[in-house]
Structure 1
Amino acid sequence: MFIATVAFSGFYGAMYLMPEVIAERSAKAPLNVPPVVQVQAAPKQTPPASTQSGTRQQADFTPFPATAQFESGDTWISNGRRYRLYGLQTCLRGTNVTLSAGVVRDCGELNLIMAQALIRDTKPVCTTVKDLDENNAVVVCQTTTGEIAYDLATYMIAQGWGFAAVDGAGQLIVPGYRVAEETARAARTGLWAYSDMPHPISVLMQQQQAQQGQ
């Protein structure tokens, strides 16, 4: 079920996201996304030959930096620039989740630790979607099996360590990511295993409504 979900959501993402990646490279309007963080680049490797949809990649992918300074589960810094995974939202720092009786952890910190572990294990390659300014950029990353590429954000969401991000109007940035999120929720995988998990989208929307009400 997990493989089927990643494959379906990844295929949807390839159809939906890759044309948008190319379009965003030439667009002048900034993406409505939060900032991102830094890492030291590893030696460049040959990018995957094809995407999940079978078409050749039209963007240059480079290995995820061997060492990274993570700001959150979806943001890191490399060579003085901040990077964020496009369409992914992870748990927010300052929100708590109860792991067991009497054991409470910062959800954002826990999510960050698991994101680091997933990235270390999957060894993704990434490409820049949009340079927001000289210090911030948005990227998409892929993991590979043979010559088939799988979207990293889909993988993280399906494992229960990420969520489908929304824009300022509350619309999904990558609709296909919701498929992986719903599967992880139903299976109570990752952060979904904890009944009081503070869903970051709900928290952000509550904060936005509070600000508008002031």
Structure 2
Amino acid sequence: MPIKLPIIMALLLATTARAQEETISFPAAVRFETGDSWQYEGRKFRLFGVQACIRGTAYHAPDGTESDCGMQSIASLAALFSTGSIGCQPVGRANDDASFVVCAAQIDNATVDVGTALISSGAAFAAAYPSGAPVSAAYAVAEAIAKDSGSGLWAGRFAHPVSMLLDKR
């Protein structure tokens, strides 16, 4: 299966990342801000290497309906949080003091990297540095597979959030 490499790479990243603190477990009851960030107990968390659709941008489904692309990403993240136990390992701090985290979900006795799950299902995208290089090569591969197969958001039309953010530099 072609998806094994991204999953293995993402899990390797999750297990080898230098931790700043203990693993944090999240219940389903967090406050989602975007499809890659949430608040819990007064702290903000953001998935490392993941970029969700930007809220307020249009998503055009194959059937012609239009919706908020950012809300589509939020719904996917919320659905993933509701399906299993989520544990995250902090790997750094963002400029806005959010904790960058790499997360795993326990779903049906399997451990799944949250970033890989979102990106490979077409619900989110591989984040990029200002240079345009992907933050995670494994996530870039997962995105390419999702795009090629027309998974999730890739089935319709939208403005790619990484392109939009890089154009604003």
TM-score range normalised by the length of the shorter chain: 0.7 to 0.9
Change (3 A) 1:134 1:197: closer
Give the counterpart of 1:73 among 11, 17, 35: 35
5 Å matches for 1:32-43? none
- Tell me, yes or no, if structure 1 residue 202 matches structure 2 residue 163: yes
| Structure 1 CA distance for aligned equivalents of residues 95 and 158 of structure 2 | 33
> Considering only aligned residues, what root-mean-square deviation do their CA atoms show, in Å?
2.4
Q: Return the alpha-carbon distance in structure 2 between the equivalents of residues 124 and 78 of structure 1.
A: 13
Contact 1:17 1:174 in 2 (8 A): no
Displacement of 1:145 after TM fit?
6.0
Q: 1:200 Cα shift?
A: 0.6
Alignment of structure 1 residues 39-188 onto 2, 5 Å: 60-99=22-61, 103-132=65-94, 135-144=97-106, 149-188=111-150
Number of corresponding residues = 169
- For residues 133 and 181 of structure 1, what CA distance do their matches in structure 2 show? 25
Deviation at 1:123, TM superposition (A): 2.8
Q: Deviations over 1:150-182 (max 9, x none)?
A: 311001111110111011222211111111111
Q: Which residue does the alignment assign to 2:9?
A: 12
What is the TM-score normalised by the length of structure 1? 0.70
Q: For each residue in 1:5-29, what CA deviation from the matched residue of structure 2 results, as whole angstroms up to 9, or x when unmatched?
A: 0x3112122334543x21x63xxxx
Answer with 1 or 2: which has the greater Rg: 1
Cα displacement string for residues 118-160 of structure 1 (whole angstroms, at most 9, x for unaligned residues) = 2211432112112458952111101246876331100111111
TM-score, length of structure 2 as denominator length: 0.87
